[in-house]
Structure 1
């Protein structure tokens, strides 16, 4: 959280302009002098409190009075027109006292049901600097539970659409100067050019702004509670001098990642340099929301078979060229598993089942491990899952809990309690490619001396070699062939489709490598791994080679 904003004096009078679509001309003094609480009559002839939905007249009346009181800086009066005056009053008061809004013109739009949209045109003044500030938000009018009065349903978003619970608006000199983020070749990375980096750049500023050598300006920002992420700048009244912060990102790979995820309503992708763990690209669609690529927690489907295969080969229970059974169905401790579309492979090797993504071949081998927790141990000890990664920004490092019975079998094919994201699976692929886990990083640990996770051991060379070869076959003639066709270099892949309760279409997963770059993607409800997530990964691999 930014601190150290210097105190300032605010002057001026806030005003409200009504008469937008759906409203007639409104006199401010009439509203403030209407007597009582200023609300419409909420009792019936018998004296009973009104119930039922608010009427159009009540919606117009309540919203007009609230907006007028707020715009005039009367935080106490405005808060009493909400259904949570205790929480509303400090934020409404802070609009003038802490955000230093010297003037505000609020223009309501036409109500949509009980919702009233409005536009705010404000002037922020601090330290002799003033700047205009415009944005849009909305409020909802509800009936008070005990009073029957029409009231504004309180939410911080009433004041600004990006405000969350516990957050505040501030104006002043932030303690953390702005940063100029650079990729590994010194090219600038901005939110405007790379929208997915918005939350990441905010976090980088919060954590490293004071170390990057810049000087603060004057800004209006959202000061979030600790649990809600980094602060966000909304307005710059006076520019400071940003410090330079070098990241491991690659501008070309990032551009390709941004473009590729936009083809789907919900998609994430991450690229990692296999030999170093350097994160080369992170992208999400939607771009300005939750960083699912690094914080998501979902079943990864058959991409998990990379870890399963490593465990089976390392234990001597299977080998790339050794025959394995792939029936239509397989049962383990009362739980039945099947292959996509019910296919079977009459005769084939582990490579065949891996490349064609046969679930039952892997399920039939779980009994031979004589340890239901073997997969969890492999994921942790070799692939670094669950080792508290310190990437430089907030991230989730995957989870493969120790399970028994059918739940343990489900983990073999990336279902059940396994939780991963695109970052985790890109790292898994990088580890399979090189044989050694290298914790992904977005900024050098030398910048802040943070510890980097180390896996207990590397894969034996013969295991890493077999994993790499099976992934090559998947990209050559298996389920990843179509997606990886345009990708050059030494390449490999693994597809995945993860079933989600209550979701008709499975999530699409894909992970692959090209030379020294590994990438993974997930597309929500995208279906087969090669159909949706595959082209996303391929685009990033091509750009980042």
Structure 2
């Protein structure tokens, strides 16, 4: 409890050299070596009597060392003896303290305590508690440290400043201590090969591991719950056990993650700001890695909701292929092109100009105008209809929270919105998870909604889509391979073999001077995508992150 304004708190200059010896029914305490200038030890009751009736002006007087020592001694002795009413009366909030002390004993099944004073604090005392717990024929002693401070109450008497943290430093207002059997067996979250995953080893997974345990722990069979002492928060939630009386036998939740790829992903984003990467198995949609930086910041791997830039040209290219074009179809690359006198578009590289360009060349070099020039071939619904084949017109349930409403594919019936979306701008809102899935669908031809756990555990609908024709998928692999061999991804993807492909991107974001860098690629049966905020070109910012993950795969 905070000290009231105007109330002075004293400081003990030395260390108490006392012990409160406790039995189940009583206690005796001796405090020695009090400051000699105060005239030796004085019982706390005498101190209180001397202070009583001095008036409000004494409430502002600094506390002496003797007053602090006596108040602490009396309180700890009363607490250890089990006299909660007396202990509460020695605080500045008697009713609240008495109730909390009683709850401490009953809720945590503590039948006795032994308290050892320690070093002085500012206006109080550290002390060590050895609490004896008896619960369901189990007995155990729980030892931990706490502290108190002494202030003056409204009458001017020295009193312990009451706070739940006196009972245990982890307690806040409304919290209680509880000794009980856990609701469910201890849970270990593992990768697909049964490697245990922890937030300490994989910082980006901290939130996800906790969420998976909360969602699926009770659905798993096997194991026995542990018995321990916990803090029950004011909202009814509980954390990790503070003291274990009996260990349970754990149960494991197996995820789709791959510890090797997760390690590579964590390393690849480390030290970057606003970076996120996700990797998938192209054959199943299984999520293999999720990492973002900083790890205590926004989850840009799953929660990003921004325009994906030219990485979305994979979808646009598929739509143009479905309209009858081929990789060899003419697609002139002219700066400042538009459609039907609509919005004028520029290319990211001003010198990018090729009158006899093909669709494949435009894709590899990421020519914006080469794509929007063919907007009329798509009509008002062609792009959205193709996006549906990638699963982009449905909300996904991957087994852990993602950005709300993701993926998001807006209406393309407005001409300028259509041409903006064709190059990954406009109202599109995607994440690295979504764009990794786009690359996976492009190379395999099949859409598999990403999942982080077995689908039998996910009770929400799993998105399904038709996927791509063999012709369209083959053409996309050809164009994504060209981006690696001769296009904008050639430098960062150097060394990857013929079973790889990529697409670079940079996305303009309102309020930012620099574009977000995007990159998505596949190699073998692994697809990955990354974003780096305010980073410029995707091939130099997000590209190295994706390449590092793919090499680990």
**Mapped contact 1:495–1:530 kept (Cα < 8 A):** yes
Partner of 2:376: 367
- CA distance, structure 2, for counterparts of residue 428 and residue 311 of structure 1: 13
Over 3 Å counting, the alpha-carbon distance change for 1:354 and 1:171 in structure 2 is: farther
Q: Tell me, yes or no, if structure 1 residue 389 matches structure 2 residue 389.
A: no
Runs of 4+, deviation exceeding 6 Å: 32-36, 93-103, 107-110, 119-126, 132-135, 159-163, 166-171, 221-226
Q: Identify which range, 126-135 or 276-285, moves more after superposition.
A: 126-135
- CA distance, structure 2, for counterparts of residue 525 and residue 39 of structure 1: 57
Q: Deviations over 1:159-194 (max 9, x none)?
A: 99999xx99998754424332222222222222211
- Please give the secondary structure, in 2, of the residue aligned with 1:377: helix
Higher Rg of the two aligned structures: 2
**Mapped contact 1:173–1:216 kept (Cα < 8 A):** yes
Partner of 1:280: 288
- Which of 400, 419, 435 matches 1:409? 419
Q: CA deviation at 1:292?
A: 2.7
- Which of 330, 335, 339 matches 2:343? 335
Over 3 Å counting, the alpha-carbon distance change for 1:246 and 1:134 in structure 2 is: farther
Partner of 1:463: 472
- Which of 303, 326, 329 matches 1:322? 329
Q: Which runs of 5 or more residues in structure 2 are unaligned?
A: 4-8, 14-43, 61-86, 94-99, 147-167
- Which of 456, 464, 473 matches 1:446? 456
TM-score, scaled to structure 1: 0.69
Q: Tell me, yes or no, if structure 1 residue 537 matches structure 2 residue 546.
A: yes
- CA distance, structure 1, for counterparts of residue 322 and residue 11 of structure 2: 78
Partner of 2:275: 267
- CA distance, structure 2, for counterparts of residue 212 and residue 482 of structure 1: 50
Over 3 Å counting, the alpha-carbon distance change for 1:237 and 1:506 in structure 2 is: farther
User: 1:286-297 counterparts in 2 under 5 A?
Assistant: 286-297=294-305
- CA distance, structure 1, for counterparts of residue 529 and residue 171 of structure 2: 30
TM-score, scaled to structure 2: 0.68
Q: What is the root-mean-square deviation in Å for CA atoms of aligned residues?
A: 4.7
Partner of 1:481: 490
User: 1:108-123 counterparts in 2 under 5 A?
Assistant: none
- Which of 308, 311, 316 matches 2:316? 308
Q: Tell me, yes or no, if structure 1 residue 25 matches structure 2 residue 11.
A: yes
**Mapped contact 2:12–2:121 kept (Cα < 8 A):** no
- CA distance, structure 1, for counterparts of residue 234 and residue 353 of structure 2: 55
- CA distance, structure 1, for counterparts of residue 358 and residue 198 of structure 2: 48
- CA distance, structure 1, for counterparts of residue 120 and residue 315 of structure 2: 56
**Mapped contact 2:171–2:231 kept (Cα < 8 A):** no
**Mapped contact 1:248–1:278 kept (Cα < 8 A):** yes
Q: Which runs of 5 or more residues in structure 1 are unaligned?
A: 1-13, 17-22, 41-71, 79-90, 111-118, 136-158
User: 1:33-72 counterparts in 2 under 5 A?
Assistant: none
**Mapped contact 1:521–1:534 kept (Cα < 8 A):** yes
Q: Deviations over 1:243-283 (max 9, x none)?
A: 01211111111110111110412211111010111111111
Partner of 1:512: 521
- Which of 424, 431, 443 matches 2:441? 431
Partner of 2:17: none
Over 3 Å counting, the alpha-carbon distance change for 1:193 and 1:260 in structure 2 is: same
Q: CA deviation at 1:131?
A: 5.7
Q: Deviations over 1:103-132 (max 9, x none)?
A: 9x9x9999xxxxxxxx99999997566767
- Please give the secondary structure, in 1, of the residue aligned with 2:301: helix
- CA distance, structure 2, for counterparts of residue 506 and residue 108 of structure 1: 56
**Mapped contact 1:199–1:291 kept (Cα < 8 A):** no
Partner of 1:180: 188
Over 3 Å counting, the alpha-carbon distance change for 1:500 and 1:173 in structure 2 is: farther
- Please give the secondary structure, in 1, of the residue aligned with 2:527: strand
Over 3 Å counting, the alpha-carbon distance change for 1:413 and 1:15 in structure 2 is: closer
Partner of 2:159: none
Q: CA deviation at 1:453?
A: 1.6
- Please give the secondary structure, in 1, of the residue aligned with 2:521: strand
Q: CA deviation at 1:423?
A: 0.7
Over 3 Å counting, the alpha-carbon distance change for 1:448 and 1:270 in structure 2 is: closer
Over 3 Å counting, the alpha-carbon distance change for 1:175 and 1:301 in structure 2 is: same
Over 3 Å counting, the alpha-carbon distance change for 1:212 and 1:192 in structure 2 is: farther
Q: CA deviation at 1:212?
A: 4.5
- CA distance, structure 2, for counterparts of residue 200 and residue 459 of structure 1: 32
Q: Identify which range, 351-360 or 339-348, moves more after superposition.
A: 339-348
- Please give the secondary structure, in 2, of the residue aligned with 1:508: strand
Over 3 Å counting, the alpha-carbon distance change for 1:132 and 1:516 in structure 2 is: farther
- CA distance, structure 1, for counterparts of residue 234 and residue 464 of structure 2: 32
- Please give the secondary structure, in 2, of the residue aligned with 1:294: coil
- Which of 507, 514, 526 matches 2:535? 526
- Which of 359, 362, 376 matches 2:384? 376
Number of positions where the alignment pairs a residue of Structure 1 with one of Structure 2: 446
User: 1:232-251 counterparts in 2 under 5 A?
Assistant: 233=240, 235=242, 237=244, 239-251=247-259
- Please give the secondary structure, in 1, of the residue aligned with 2:316: helix
**Mapped contact 1:176–1:205 kept (Cα < 8 A):** no
Q: CA deviation at 1:96?
A: 11
Q: Deviations over 1:29-87 (max 9, x none)?
A: 99x99998x999xxxxxxxxxxxxxxxxxxxxxxxxxxxxxxx999x989xxxxxxxxx
- Please give the secondary structure, in 1, of the residue aligned with 2:344: strand
Over 3 Å counting, the alpha-carbon distance change for 1:290 and 1:161 in structure 2 is: farther
- Please give the secondary structure, in 2, of the residue aligned with 1:295: coil
- CA distance, structure 2, for counterparts of residue 296 and residue 541 of structure 1: 21
Partner of 1:55: none
